[in-house]
A and B are shown apart, each in its own frame.
Chain A
């Protein structure tokens, strides 16, 4: 345990977490350089690094800073946001399968986006707005329906399953009625893609995400205490109900910011906290490893989707397969070791 004390702030860090996060950061930097090199106009590592440090000019500078960097930055920031969002929900519901999808956010935002694409035929901004509105409205509805003298985790999950199933039906129905081209475009958005991410979206989304990550960090101590149970936490001075609501809002808002910019990149929020916990060998869910693993998963998946897959695919498809496969492998080895 590493304890850093200043006058008002005490920072408690676990050594293994620090080492793991540092290593992940190094891997992330290497992967980012690799992603900036790859493409139809190949660059050398030296060119990439010197451009980032302010050197180079002309076409190389244009390619790195304006074509490739937004995408890489988006993958890093969005991935970290998704990882933290999942960690918050899994800690809150004390359930390894929880993520904002549990309270219907994913299905709701997809419904909102489908209505914009298929019914209104709206622009990209309207699409983002529709997705946000749909997701938020669903999350609020699920929370309200699960509310009965406070919100209990299990009830929230069941209500979320019910509402998600209904919205899933609506989505299937909308897809069935649309013509094929529109439906395929909608499905591509629904798979989650970083195509067409620009600096505007990265900066706008990134600013929101930075604020939210700070909030999550401030709440994380109370969050860890609440893992011990509501009674234990309130006896230690945590105000349970407002904290829980604040955590739900932060978790949903993180996913919402990502969804608005890139469509629902699923599974990162589900898997990243689990992988992070296993790498850092922490007792519960911790935020920092989840954020780094989320970023790594997103960036790696986007690299594979763009440059390794035979045709460029939406990044969400790769995150599902990578994350699912890795979680399966972890389960498999863990089950063997435990028994």
Chain B
């Protein structure tokens, strides 16, 4: 599997833009994100004018539009923002440490662990409240990721190929057990088919707040190890020669990415593809420079998620398509186009 050991040297590596242009790009990404946040609050089954949005946020008064904004659109926008940031950063981290351009948190069993734990909670323990079973999802994701990494580790450290295979095995076994539980328990099946779609609606903000401290820790860890990850992109031996402590960097990165991906899944359910796609685009813009890739991923991922969420509200009006279903439709054509380019060396 030679593909798994390719270096994350983006197609733009030779002509990577200087710091000034990177900064301008970052500001542009920030403006884009802000615009999408605004649009996400305005667009829905009824369109709401910007002035009403402004009033709802800063001069609250009773009224149907303001109620729709404060109780529905604002929470889902915040959920999409938080989940998007976490997914983008976790994707960038996992691609950096496995040096595998196709790695995403799903490979480490995050989604499998979370949905198995939620199925247990719903099917066997009869828990129906999302605030209660989000902790099952979080714990399931953390435990399973640890299991995959232990199974995939050898005495010489972790080989990316073995970790990926271990992830496939654990995902398969848990997936089978989950399916068996679901097929014998109609109630669990019903709850899980909507949870599995991945969505940012119907979650009160109380689901988000308890996860935020974990995200903050992960954020600090990610930027702390970004320099070491840059050196590791050149190969383990060169990194050691530059004074990087491989073991510590890997452990810290894995802690960070597990917290991010597990937390995001606990909030929104499994949302595929965002973590896989966005770091590629970021690397394509800024070149192989981890802390810039992290920063861009954290802005572009919520933008992709918000765009998908807005599209999901528009395509089947007045019905909605969950965001987890739209992301693949937005992301997959981009991925295919990227891999069909002449020099697909970044993939």
Contacts and interface: CB of A to CB of B under 8 A. Distances in A.
Interface of A: 95-97, 145-146, 148, 154-155, 157-159, 161-163, 165-166, 168-170, 172-173, 175-176, 180, 183-184, 187-188, 191, 267, 270, 309, 311, 313-314, 317-318, 320-321, 323-325, 327-328, 331-332, 335-336, 338-339
A166 B329 contact: yes
12 contacts: A97-B164, A158-B335, A159-B339, A169-B327, A172-B197, A173-B321, A176-B194, A314-B183, A317-B179, A320-B179, A324-B172, A331-B165
Given A313-B184, A324-B172, 12 more contacts: A158-B335, A158-B347, A165-B332, A172-B196, A173-B197, A173-B325, A176-B194, A184-B183, A320-B172, A320-B175, A324-B168, A331-B169
B272 A165 contact: yes
A130 B340 CA distance: 30
Contacts of B162: 331, 335
B197 A184 contact: no
B154 A183 contact: no
Nearest to A155: B339
A331 B336 CA distance: 31
A165 B273 contact: yes
A327 B165 contact: yes
Contacts of A187: 179, 182-183, 189
Contacts of A188: 183
Given A162-B336, A176-B197, A331-B166, A191 B102 contact: no
Nearest to A310: B184
Contact of B102 (A161, A175, A176): A161
A339 B183 contact: no
Nearest first, the 3 closest Cβ-Cβ pairs linking A and B are: A324-B172, A328-B169, A320-B176
Nearest to B272: A165
A327 B183 CA distance: 25
A155 B337 CA distance: 11
B171 to A, nearest CB: 8
A180 B190 contact: yes
Contact of B193 (A96, A172, A324): A172
A159 B3 CA distance: 14
Nearest to B6: A154
B215 to A, nearest CB: 25
B333 A162 contact: yes
Contacts of A172: 193, 196-197, 324-325
Q: Report which residue of A148, A169, A173, A188 has the largest number of chain B beta carbons within 10 angstroms of its beta carbon.
A: A169
A238 B252 CA distance: 50
